[in-house]
Amino acid sequence: MNLITEAAKALRDIGKGMAVVSRAAEKGKHTNLYPFEMPEIPPVSCQSLALIIEADGTDRCVSCLACEKVCPSQVITIERTRNPEGKGFVLERFDIDLVNCMYCAACVEACPVSAIVTIQDFELSTYDLQTLKADKAFLDEQGRRAKQWYSPKLGVEYRNEQGEIQVAPLEQQPGGEAELLKQADKESDN
């Protein structure tokens, strides 16, 4: 008798499992049809690095070497010379070895002027690793192609149709919640 009840229980549990499996079809498809359909990547996501050029064509980077110093993988190489006329430096060379970079975004955090930023372009696959030894032209191009980018100082930014750089609204910024709450508090105080 015991055997029969046990067998019945086992069969019932197997049946339950089979029901779970067949009911799962209701949950729909969860596959992303990449490359036919691009995945939605949040703006803070660090998929690649880029250098930002202002709308008037000047580099944001002031060659302060902060990013080079902070990089854990030591893949940033910057060469600069003193600006012969006026203050500051002239950027001679700005290389990032994107093969050995580990996309930790420490350089982005260190940059005082948000010149180096994280972008969401993850399609870095290539047949030739040499193409990933990025120089300044490469990084500028990445920055020009990016729809939006992120840096902790300025938050999420994007280029509007006129080519001007704008900061995204507060709702899309990390930390925006706290800011909005603060504003709401102030309004309720008034």
Partner 1 sequence: MALSSDKRSQLKRIPIPEDRHFKPQLVGYNPKTPNRLAEVLAHSLLYFVFVGLLLLIYGVLPWLFKLPGSPLASGGSFTTTGAVLYGILAAVLSFLVAAVAALILILVLRKYLGLVQNRYGPMHNGPAGAFQTIADAVKMVAKEDFVPGKADALVFTLAPLMVFVSAFLLLTIIPFAPGWVLANLNVGLLFIVAAGTIGAYGVLVGGWSINNKFGLLGGLRAAAQLVSYEIPLSISLLTVAVWVGSLNLMDIVEAQKLWWTAIPLLISAAVYLIASLAEIKMTPFDLPEAESELVAGFNTEYSGMRFGFFFVAEFAELFLLPAIAVVLFFGGYYQPLAGFWDFADVLRGLGAEGSTLNQFGGLLASAYGMLWFLLKTALLSYLVIWVRATLPRFRDDQLMELCWKVLIPLSLIGLAVAVILRLVFK
Partner 2 sequence: MSIPAALMTGPTVLEPVVGKTDEMIVNLGPQHPATHGVLQIVLGVDGERVTRAVPHIGFLHRNHEKIEESRSYAQVIPYLDRMDYVSGLQNELPYCLAVEDLAGLEVPERAKYIRTAMFEFNRIISHLVWVGTYMLDLGAITPFLYAFRDREMALDIIERTTGGRMLPNYFTFGGVRRDVHPKFWQDLLDFLDYFEKVVPEYETLTVDAPVFQARSVGVGLLSQELAVNHGISGPNLRASGVAHDLRKDQPYDAYPELDFSVITRDEGDVWARSKVRMDEIYQSIDLIRQCAELAPRSGPYLARGRVKIEAGEQRYRAAEISRGQLGVYIHSDGGTGPYRSKHRSPSFVNLQIIPDLFIGQKFSDVIAILGSIDIVLGEVDR
Cα distance between residue 171 and residue 166, in whole Å: 14
Q: Does 44 bind ligand SF4 (CB under 6 A)?
A: no
CB under 8 A: which stretch of 29-37, 47-55, 156-164, 176-184 binds partner 1?
29-37
| Total chain residues near partner 1 (CB under 8 A) | 39
Q: Whole-number minimum distance, CB 84 to partner 2, in Å?
A: 34
Cα distance between residue 77 and residue 38, in whole Å: 33
Q: Does 119 bind ligand SF4 (CB under 6 A)?
A: no
DSSP letter assigned to residue 25 = G
Q: Does 73 bind partner 1 (CB under 8 A)?
A: yes
Q: Whole-number minimum distance, CB 20 to partner 2, in Å?
A: 5
Phi and psi at residue 109, to the nearest 5°: -70, -35
Q: Whole-number minimum distance, CB 95 to partner 2, in Å?
A: 19
Cα distance between residue 51 and residue 118, in whole Å: 9
Cβ neighbours of residue 65 closer than 8 Å, sequence gap 6 or more: 78, 80
Cα distances (angstroms) measured from residue 49 to each of 1, 9, 116, 119 = 69, 57, 7, 6
What is the CB neighbour count within 10 angstroms for residue 165? 15
Q: Whole-number minimum distance, CB 78 to partner 1, in Å?
A: 10
Q: Does 114 bind partner 1 (CB under 8 A)?
A: no
Q: In this complex, which beta carbon is closest to partner 2, that of residue 3 or of residue 86?
A: 3
Burial of 108 (0-12, 13-18, 19+ CB in 10 A): buried
Q: Whole-number minimum distance, CB 23 to partner 1, in Å?
A: 9
Interface residues with partner 2 (CB under 8 A)? 9-10, 13-14, 16-17, 20-21, 24, 27, 30, 41-42, 44-46, 70-72, 102-106, 109, 118, 150, 152, 171, 173-178, 180-182
